[in-house]
């Protein structure tokens, strides 16, 4: 199944590229933002979108403006939030009556949650985070998650237990504080890229498949 290239207009910024991938009998739609270091066409993003499509979930991937321009420094939050809103609005238009969710990989997930905390994204029923970046590597803190208390829709955190950007002794109490709106799903021995060491006997594709099964079941429940 080939993704359809689209263009997404953003307020106060140049348009960005997007990719719409919808199976014939979709039962939900996820607006999916990329991480800080790789855009929407990265193999991990493609594998995620294709895996979701195989499970009946349509996806709208999109570029942040800095990535569209080939830059390496991420956009300031207001620009990133505007991109999230524009993509969510396009996702809502394309999803029709399908339940709509938003989120993304690492930086993209955090920008989505910040946008949602500032003002709810229209039609979005919940947020799905693929490796939420709670803190920089080697600098444990939960300050980046302060805004999550202002999010009023359900949240799913898909995390590896060896993610150096989300130490478990900080992440688990955080999710507990967020209460029934937050769900934490852990993948044993996986890192921030959802890679597990060879000694575990688990291949990256198997780790991703487990996480996607969890995400699809969670979306169906919401």
Distance CA 163, CA 211 (A): 14
pLDDT > 80? residue 1: no
State the pLDDT confidence band at 185, using cuts at 50, 70 and 90.
very high
User: CA 24, CA 54: separation in Å to the nearest integer?
Assistant: 10
CA distances 17 to 31, 87, 90, 204, Å, are 13, 10, 12, 27
% the chain with pLDDT above 70:
100
**Where would I find the beta strands (DSSP E) of 161-219?**
182-187
Cα–Cα nearest to 5, from 16, 15, 17, 13: 17
Question: Of the candidates 32, 151, 29, 167, which has an alpha carbon nearest to the alpha carbon of residue 100?
Answer: 29
d(CA 45, CA 142): 26
**Model pLDDT for residues 90-135, shown as the tens digit of each residue:** 999 999 999 999 999 999 999 999 999 999 999 999 999 999 999 9
**What integer pLDDT is reported at residue 205 of this predicted model?**
92
The model's pLDDT over 76-92, given as tens digits with 9 standing for 90+, comes to 999 999 999 999 999 99
Instruction: Specify the fold of 4-221.
Output: Rossmann fold (3.40.50)
- Residue 142 token pair: 């939960």
3 state SS of 97 = coil
Instruction: Using alpha carbons, select from 81, 93, 86 the residue that is nearest to residue 29.
Output: 93
Find out whether 170 and 141 touch, Cβ atoms under 8 Å. Answer: yes
pLDDT at 13 > cutoff 90: no
Q: Which residue has the tokens 């921030």?
A: 192
Higher pLDDT, residue 20 or 2: 20
Annotated domain spans of the chain = 4-221
The first and second tokens of residue 176, run together, are 């507990």
């Amino acid at each position: 199944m080939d993704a359809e290239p689209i263009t997404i207009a953003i307020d106060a910024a140049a348009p960005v590229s997007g990719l719409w991938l919808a199976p014939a009998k979709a039962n939900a739609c996820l607006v999916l933002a990329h991480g800080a270091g790789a855009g929407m066409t990265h193999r991990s993003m493609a594998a995620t979108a294709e895996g979701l499509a195989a499970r009946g979930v349509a996806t709208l991937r999109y570029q942040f403006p800095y990535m569209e321009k080939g830059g390496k420094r991420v956009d300031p939050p207001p620009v990133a939030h505007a991109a999230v809103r524009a993509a969510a609005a396009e996702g809502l238009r394309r999803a029709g009556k399908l339940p709509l969710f938003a989120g993304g990989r690492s930086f993209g997930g955090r920008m989505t949650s910040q946008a949602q905390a500032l003002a709810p994204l229209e039609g979005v029923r919940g947020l799905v985070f693929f490796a939420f970046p709670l803190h920089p590597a080697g600098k444990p803190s939960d300050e980046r998650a302060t805004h999550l208390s202002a999010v009023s829709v359900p949240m799913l955190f898909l995390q590896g237990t060896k993610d150096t950007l989300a130490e478990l002794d900080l992440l688990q109490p955080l999710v507990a504080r967020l209460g029934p709106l937050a769900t934490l799903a852990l993948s044993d021995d996986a890192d921030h890229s959802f890679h597990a060491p060879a000694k575990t006997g688990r291949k990256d594709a198997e780790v991703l498949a487990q996480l996607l099964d969890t995400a699809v079941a969670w979306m169906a429940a919401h």
